[in-house]
Amino acid sequence: MQAEGSNRIMDNIIELQDIRKTYRMGDMAVPVLKGVTLTVARGELVALMGASGSGKSTLMNILGCLDRFDSGSYRLDNQEMSHLSADQRAMVRNTKLGFVFQSFNLLPRTSALDNVAMPLTYSAGHLSEREARQRAAAMLTRVGLEARMDHEPSRLSGGQQQRVAIARALISRPPLLLADEPTGNLDSRTSAEVLAMFQELNGKEGITIIMVTHDPHVAGYAQRTIHIRDGLIVDDEDDDRQAQDLEAVPCKAP
């Protein structure tokens, strides 16, 4: 698969081959993904960029097993996703995936602790409620919210709410974190905090992260930026690969 002759040993967490997706609205067919082929190695921190309407969220929803695709192959953690039942996809979501959304999507009138512990109540049946809450407390401490555990979302700032959402996404210890415009509702200082947290989770714990953004500054936190346009991957820049290319071909434009 690695046509460029990379000598890195590849352990791909994601392998997409010719993924297509068309939405149908009445008689109208809206092709959104037109043959996406892509691999992401375990441990990468990737930014996915593209104009509004280019298919970023559609692709993320497929990667996250929230939505189905029409054709093509999606292997997640070496397991083919194309023929899974809804229950099987739910199981994959609970064990392999964490999600962070632009709008945080926390439960209102529910403490930060209970928001974070929530996924454990249906994914890890062997945990007692006390253990689940202990694990949630540890996760909130890791994201710097040990003093806010009993706060409901309405009493937290946007950045704090997003950190609760990150803690919730990671409570089941998934290998892959998907974030769709995670800093879209945050000011630049809070965005920087969230992005630094992603870098730390990626660097220290090896969690693979894919984040959607339309902000080049946000994408700068990633090691690799994939550009999608009109349902196709049009450009894929790996920082290392690009550095090597620049060395080999000094006149190549960046």
First-to-last alpha carbon distance for the chain, in angstroms, is: 25
Overall residue count recorded for the chain in this entry: 254
Cβ at position 185, least distance to ligand ADP in Å: 15
C-alpha 59/C-alpha 71 separation (Å) is 13
Q: Which is nearer to ligand ADP, 105 or 244 (CB)?
A: 105
Cα angle 211, 149, 206 (rounded to 5 degrees) comes to 35
Q: Which of ligand ADP, Mg ion, none does residue 23 bind to, with CB < 5 to 8 Å depending on kind? A: ligand ADP
Does 53 sit near ligand ADP (CB under 6 A)? Answer: yes
Name beta bridge partners: 28: 25
The CB-nearest residue to Mg ion is 57
Kindly tell me which residue out of 16, 55, 136, 211 binds ligand ADP, with binding defined by CB under 6 A.
Answer: 55
Q: Which is nearer to ligand ADP, 48 or 176 (CB)?
A: 48
C-alpha 54/C-alpha 58 separation (Å) is 9
Cβ at position 181, least distance to ligand ADP in Å: 8
C-alpha 231/C-alpha 48 separation (Å) is 12
CA 244, 247, 253, 254 torsion: positive or negative? positive
Cβ proximity of 104 and 153 under 8 Å: yes
Q: Which is nearer to Mg ion, 56 or 224 (CB)?
A: 56
Q: Which of Mg ion, ligand ADP, none does residue 12 bind to, with CB < 5 to 8 Å depending on kind? A: none
- Contact range with Mg ion by CB under 5 A, out of 42-50, 51-59, 125-133, 239-247: 51-59
Q: Which of Mg ion, ligand ADP, none does residue 159 bind to, with CB < 5 to 8 Å depending on kind? A: none
Three-state secondary structure call for residue 247: helix
Kindly tell me which residue out of 41, 44, 45, 56 binds ligand ADP, with binding defined by CB under 6 A.
Answer: 56
C-alpha 53/C-alpha 41 separation (Å) is 26
Cβ at position 234, least distance to Mg ion in Å: 17
Residues 6+ apart with CB under 8 A from 162: 100, 104, 182, 183, 185, 186, 190, 194
The footprint of Mg ion on this chain (CB under 5 A) covers a number of residues equal to 2
Q: How many contiguous H segments (helices) and E segments (strands) does the chain have?
A: 8, 10
Cβ at position 67, least distance to ligand ADP in Å: 8
- Contact range with Mg ion by CB under 5 A, out of 4-12, 14-22, 54-62, 114-122: 54-62
Name beta bridge partners: 247: none
Q: Which of residues 19-48 bind ligand ADP (CB under 6 A)?
A: 23, 25, 30, 32
Does 57 sit near Mg ion (CB under 5 A)? Answer: yes
Instruction: Tokens for 113, please give them.
Output: 């602790």
Cβ at position 110, least distance to ligand ADP in Å: 28
Q: Which is nearer to ligand ADP, 40 or 145 (CB)?
A: 40
Q: Give residues in contact with ligand ADP (CB under 6 A).
A: 23, 25, 30, 32, 50, 52-58
